[in-house]
Structure 1
Amino acid sequence: MDCTSHKFYHEDEFDSRMCVDMYFSDKPDMVFADDSLKFPMKKLHQVFSAGEIKGDTLIDISFGTLIHHLYSACDFFKDIYSLKFSERCIMELTRWLNTCTGALDWSHTLSYATALEGNSDQSEAKAIRLKTAIKQIVQCDTEKENLTDPVVLPQADCVISGLLLEHISKNQDDYIRYLKKIVKCLKPGGDLILFAVLNATYFTVGQDRFHVLNCDENFVRKVLTGEGLIVNHCEIQKSTSLTDLADYKSVLFITAHKQE
């Protein structure tokens, strides 16, 4: 399939529930668990528990309706703001936040988060802490200078962007342009955390194939330093999945801070 015919998850019709079921669930045949769930959660736990990144305000601008990467963050940030592209993703996240019937089930990632912390008996308390920390879910638009216009959010001590830029950028210029806007959300001295898939061109949800920008570690590092960020930590895990649902070759976790 020609890449020009691929859909874009943030522009075209996107079944967020099916995507979670295929790539982020606890189904026995879900082959992406190590890459999409365990690797980023383990790295985030290590970074936060080491005391390297902390503060009052965190902004999360990540793919789809994901929340599993925020379980570690809620113990180190008082206020979390979640930015989403579509009303459907906002609805799904709101249903989970309000513990509504039929909400997406993230209990398997909650169990993994508490196990990483050695507090497996504290799952309920951890879930409450995260839901309490999420102060607002805001619709965002990468074409606006202020991503959340007309809502004005405080600058953040930390921004997490998970599996996002490579999925919304049509080309490298888009990637750089969108990253500039994300970096503007950071306070001077603040930290940016990215986790991403590398050397990918597509992922599949149902019958639809969606675009992924093919980029590598060198490109991501170059773009970050080009925006005045200093890379603190970078780790790559080779893909552990054997499937034609997505063609990524590895997963990247990288942290960088914005100079004062």
Structure 2
Amino acid sequence: MGSSPYKRYNIHGFDSRELLEKYMSDKPEMAFQEDSLIFPMENLAKTFKIGHIRGDVLIDLSSTSMIHHLYAACEFFKHIIVLKISDRCIMELKRWLDSRTGAFNWGHATQLHMELEGNSDELQDKEEKVRSAIPQVMICDLEKENMTAPIVLPPADCIISAWLLEAICKDQDDYIRYLRKFSRLLKPGGHLILIGSLEISYYTVEKDKFHAFTYDEEFVRKALAGEGFVVDDFKVKERTIVTDLTDYRAIIVIAAHKEE
């Protein structure tokens, strides 16, 4: 994929707000509700409800400025540290965290989470709970030995990564290298949750197509095992959407733990 004609998220960047509007909003023309919102949130709610994934620190290493994948997690961790590779993503996320005018409206995702949980909290109460669980949003450089240098992060009980690896990896070696970096951030026995897209090669933001690393289920299972992870759950949802914005075959949600 080194000769890909597409742009690269970690090199060229993109308009985070535009991506959220196209792939995660509640607009009538947004075709990805089942895949990008409902399927991940349903599975994360079930995963965390079991109760064995909990602790003091969760690190989120995900693409763009999404927040909906952290709704279930905030009930089970004291602190959520969000790491982003782009200042633009941080700016967009902080608009929501600071409740600023013009921030992306995640009300539809909040409502969905409450329905999944059978929760009677007010929308605003739930969103404030998520905000209060996130003490830090930090820039990171995944190429550095310590990606948050000079700050040293505490060992994490859990890492969530949503749609980041396919956006930044050129090939299989890259994917495995970044998995190894994630593993170093985890305590022994810590948990890794991956949300991603199988057999994707591109996605579109505004008029630009962006590279995505293409992988299948067999590869990701082998990669996780090779880096000392035991897969606890592996859910796959086949694509039913007809659109040329992106070409993934299926969405996956994986829960794994690091061997002690």
TM-score by length of 2: 0.97
Runs (5+) with no aligned partner, structure 1: none
Q: 1:117 maps to what in 2?
A: 117
Query: What SS does structure 2 have at the residue aligned with 1:7?
Result: coil
**Number of residue pairs matched?**
259
Runs (5+) with no aligned partner, structure 2: none
Q: 2:219 maps to what in 1?
A: 219
- Percent identity, aligned pairs only, is 52
Q: Distance in 1 between matches of 2:184 and 2:66?
A: 22
Q: 2:70 maps to what in 1?
A: 70
Mapping 1:1-260, distance limit 5 Å: 4-260=4-260
**What do the CA deviations read for 1:16-44 (whole angstroms, capped 9, x no partner)?**
11100000100111111111111111000
> Does the 8 Å CA contact 2:59/2:83 hold for their aligned counterparts?
yes
Q: Distance in 2 between matches of 1:179 and 1:142?
A: 11
**What do the CA deviations read for 1:145-165 (whole angstroms, capped 9, x no partner)?**
112122211111000001110
- The Cα shift of 1:126 comes to 1.3
Q: Distance in 1 between matches of 2:204 and 2:186?
A: 32
Query: What SS does structure 1 have at the residue aligned with 2:232?
Result: strand
**What do the CA deviations read for 1:147-195 (whole angstroms, capped 9, x no partner)?**
2122211111000001110110011111111111111111001000001
- The Cα shift of 1:81 comes to 0.2
Q: Distance in 1 between matches of 2:8 and 2:150?
A: 24
- The Cα shift of 1:13 comes to 3.4
Q: Distance in 2 between matches of 1:131 and 1:20?
A: 18
> Does the 8 Å CA contact 1:34/1:240 hold for their aligned counterparts?
no
User: Which amino acid in the other structure matches residue 51 of structure 2?
Assistant: G
Q: Distance in 2 between matches of 1:129 and 1:15?
A: 27
Query: What SS does structure 2 have at the residue aligned with 1:29?
Result: coil
Superposed CA RMSD in Å reads 1.2
